């Protein structure tokens, strides 16, 4: 087990800055999210296939750039600036969508959004690890996710109100405001509180001298890491397109209620996620394994997909979306912790974050692209059932092949 130092107590200002960053960055990191799907369907009258195509573009670009982004965050010390720059680029992408809603412009904006978003997750996780150290990382990530979902709750409420009464474009302006605020609040974090060696997942052999990071080839040869990454792909393949498809169903069945209903879905899920993120932190502290916690998230997805085939009632859709709060709330915490466990002492934590995000992007791209064309050819119930089947495969795969990682964490 790698040796480690006692991490000095960070300044209160840095901890509050990290809280604020997670709160504000919640809406920025997802860029436009499912609102883009509803905007293109209800306001621009696009077909499901092209909607799935443009929504997959950002995920594909992000997937391509995740590994370079992880290496970049591992290599560079100015992670606060990387977050600020990425947030401002996302703001530019949102303005492009709002002012030039053509196919080519939206694809270009999605490329920009996908590229900028690759840095944010690894950089926040790296800063968190560098500030609190590995022993306190589960509690810190749980706190990060609680603030993240709180921010999403506020943003969804504002977005639904603006979309309903002022127009869809105001949703994109709202993201710009959150982005600018994120770029400012990250500067509250004192760079002196961020241990650069811990931030990349390394450890110290002693007071002097850093360990060298393990070779990338050795990292990619780790069976447990590959199983985890494959599970992440299947999780998001089965999950990512469900809410955008549900938004389209509402837009068709209940015109005029789509923006508010979609915001209600997000708000309801975020409320659940706040509690789930806190509960996951408590469960890990109580000794529950990472594997058993993630299995709960995987088990929820097939149920959600099947339920979506049964109704287009906005209230029922909101109720079903509570299950997303359970699944996504668990994933947001446990995926970072599993990656941290697997990378203990390797110096490749942010690369593993990039690989995880790459897997998320691959899964989300497949989900939106495949489900979009299945819906166009066979209808919405077939799309939801296909996603449920993929999620069930993910559950079985993870249960059979993924080992427990709890005992690898530094205590």
Summarised one tens digit per residue, pLDDT across range 230-279 is 999 999 999 988 888 887 887 777 776 666 776 777 778 878 888 898 89
- The residues near 25 (Cβ < 8 Å, ≥ 6 apart) are 83, 87, 120, 124, 148, 151, 178, 182
**Do 364 and 233 touch, CB atoms closer than 8 A?**
no
Q: Does domain 12-203+215-408 bear CATH number 1.20.1250.20?
A: yes
Structure tokens at 234: 């299947």
- The residues near 313 (Cβ < 8 Å, ≥ 6 apart) are none
Question: Residue 32 and residue 368: Cα distance in Å, rounded?
Answer: 14
Give CA torsion, residues 390, 116, 335, 8, to 10 deg: 180
Burial call 395-405: b when 16+ CB within 10 Å, e when fewer: bebbeeebeeb
Structure tokens at 117: 């978003």
Query: For 336-347, what is each residue's pLDDT tens digit?
Result: 889 888 887 777
379: left (phi over 0), alpha (psi -120 to 50) or beta: left
Question: Residue 177 and residue 116: Cα distance in Å, rounded?
Answer: 16
Mean pLDDT of 43-70: 78
pTM: 0.71
Query: For 282-313, what is each residue's pLDDT tens digit?
Result: 898 888 899 999 999 999 999 999 999 988 78
Question: Residue 322 and residue 375: Cα distance in Å, rounded?
Answer: 23
> 18 falls in which pLDDT band (50, 70, 90)?
very high
Mean pLDDT of 8-37: 77
Q: How far is CA 330 from CA 230, 294, 409, in A?
A: 17, 7, 18
**Do 273 and 145 touch, CB atoms closer than 8 A?**
yes
- The residues near 77 (Cβ < 8 Å, ≥ 6 apart) are 191, 196
Mean pLDDT of 318-323: 86
Q: If we measure between CA atoms, which residue out of 109, 29, 11, 18 comes closest to residue 69?
A: 29
Give CA torsion, residues 329, 330, 332, 335, to 10 deg: -170
State residue 11 phi and psi, 5-degree precision.
-65, 145
Here the contacts of 402-405 (C-beta below 8 Å, separation 24 or greater) are 402/224, 402/227, 402/228, 402/231, 402/291, 402/294, 403/224, 403/227, 403/291, 404/289, 404/290, 404/291, 405/224, 405/290, 405/291, 405/338, 405/341, 405/342
Q: What pLDDT sits at residue 269?
A: 81
């Amino acid at each position: 087990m790698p040796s480690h130092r006692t991490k000095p107590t960070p300044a209160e200002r840095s901890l509050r800055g990290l809280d604020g960053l997670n709160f504000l960055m919640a809406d920025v990191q997802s860029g436009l999210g499912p609102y883009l799907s509803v905007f293109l369907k209800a306001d621009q009258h696009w077909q499901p296939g092209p909607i799935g195509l443009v929504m997959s573009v950002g995920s594909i670009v992000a997937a391509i750039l995740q590994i370079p982004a992880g290496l970049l965050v591992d290599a560079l010390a100015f992670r606060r600036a990387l977050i600020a720059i990425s947030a401002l680029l996302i703001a530019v992408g949102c303005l492009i969508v709002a002012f030039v809603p053509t196919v080519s412009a939206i694809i270009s904006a999605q490329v920009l959004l996908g590229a900028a978003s690759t840095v944010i997750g690894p950089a926040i996780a790296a800063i968190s690890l560098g500030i609190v150290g590995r022993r306190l990382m589960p509690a810190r990530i749980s706190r990060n996710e609680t603030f993240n979902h709180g921010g999403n709750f506020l943003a969804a409420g504002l977005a639904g109100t603006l979309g309903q009464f002022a127009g869809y474009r105001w949703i994109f302006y709202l993201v710009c405001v959150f982005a600018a605020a994120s770029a400012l609040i990250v500067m509250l974090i004192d760079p002196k509180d961020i241990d650069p060696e811990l931030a990349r997942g390394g450890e110290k052999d002693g007071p002097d001298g850093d360990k060298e990071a393990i070779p990338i080839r050795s990292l990619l040869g780790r069976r447990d890491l590959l199983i985890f990454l494959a599970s992440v792909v299947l999780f998001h393949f089965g999950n990512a397109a469900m809410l955008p498809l549900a938004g389209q169903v509402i837009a068709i069945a209940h015109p005029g209620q789509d923006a508010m209903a979609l915001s209600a879905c997000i708000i309801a899920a975020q409320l659940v996620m706040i509690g789930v993120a806190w509960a996951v932190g408590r469960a890990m502290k109580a000794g529950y394994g990472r594997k058993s916690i993630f299995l709960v998230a995987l088990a929820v997805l097939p149920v959600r997909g099947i339920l979506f085939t049964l109704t287009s009632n906005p209230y029922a859709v909101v109720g079903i979306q509570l299950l997303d709060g359970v699944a996504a709330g668990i994933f947001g915490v446990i995926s970072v912790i599993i990656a941290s466990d697997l990378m203990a002492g390797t110096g490749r934590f942010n690369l593993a974050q990039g690989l995880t995000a790459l897997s998320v992007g691959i899964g989300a791209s497949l989900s939106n692209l495949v489900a979009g064309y299945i819906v166009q050819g066979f209808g919405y119930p077939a799309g939801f059932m296909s996603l449920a089947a993929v999620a069930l495969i993910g559950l079985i795969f993870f249960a059979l092949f993924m080992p427990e990682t709890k005992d690898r964490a530094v205590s």
